[in-house]
C-alpha cells in the first residue's frame, strides 16, 4: 500500500470550476506539502502545512491531522492552472525527506 494516495489521478474541468484534489497518508508526518509540476518537469512548492488551512490567491490547502487527510482547492480555475499537482509528506522521523503521491493531472479547458 502506498504511503501517500491522491485522488483523482486525472481531472478535467471547464474554466471557472471549483477544483478539489485529495490526499490521504498513512505515516506520521511533520508536515504535508502540495507541489505543482509543469509539463517541462520543474517542481514548485505551493504549500507546506502541518495543521489547519492556508490560502494563497485562488489556492487553498487544508489538512486534518487526525484523519490523515489533506485537500487542495482551486477557485475560479483557469487554463494556466493545468499541471500535475503532487502531495508529499515529510516524515516526523529522520531527515525530513519527502514521500510523494503519484500526482493528479489537472486539465482546465477554456
Partner 1 sequence: EPEVTQTPSHQVTQMGQEVILRCVPISNHLYFYWYRQILGQKVEFLVSFYNNEISEKSEIFDDQFSVERPDGSNFTLKIRSTKLEDSAMYFCASIRDSNYEQYFGPGTRLTVT
Q: Which residue of 7, 9, 10, 96 would you call a contact of partner 1, by CB under 8 A?
A: 96
Looking up cell 487542495, which residue turns up? 72
- The torsion defined by the Cα of 48, 23, 55 and 51, in degrees rounded to 10, comes to -60
Q: How far is the CB of 87 from partner 1 (least distance, A)?
A: 10
C-alpha cell at 7: 485522488
**24 is an interface residue for partner 1 by CB under 8 A:** no
**102 is an interface residue for partner 1 by CB under 8 A:** yes
Residue span binding partner 1 (CB under 8 A) among the ranges 10-18, 51-59, 68-76, 88-96: 88-96
Site residues (vs partner 1, CB under 8 A): 30-31, 33, 35, 40-45, 48, 86, 88, 94-103
Amino acid at each position: 500500500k502506498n504511503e501517500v494516495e491522491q485522488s483523482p489521478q486525472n481531472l478535467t474541468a471547464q474554466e471557472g470550476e471549483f477544483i478539489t484534489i485529495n490526499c490521504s497518508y498513512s505515516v506520521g508526518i511533520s508536515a504535508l506539502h502540495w507541489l505543482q509540476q509543469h509539463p517541462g518537469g520543474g517542481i514548485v512548492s505551493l504549500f507546506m502545512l502541518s495543521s489547519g488551512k492556508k490560502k494563497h490567491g485562488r489556492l487553498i490547502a487544508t489538512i486534518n491531522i487526525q484523519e490523515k487527510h489533506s485537500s487542495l482547492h482551486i477557485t475560479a480555475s483557469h487554463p494556466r492552472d493545468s499541471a500535475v499537482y503532487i502531495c508529499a509528506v515529510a516524515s516526523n522521523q529522520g531527515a525530513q525527506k519527502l514521500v510523494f503521491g503519484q500526482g493528479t493531472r489537472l486539465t482546465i479547458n477554456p
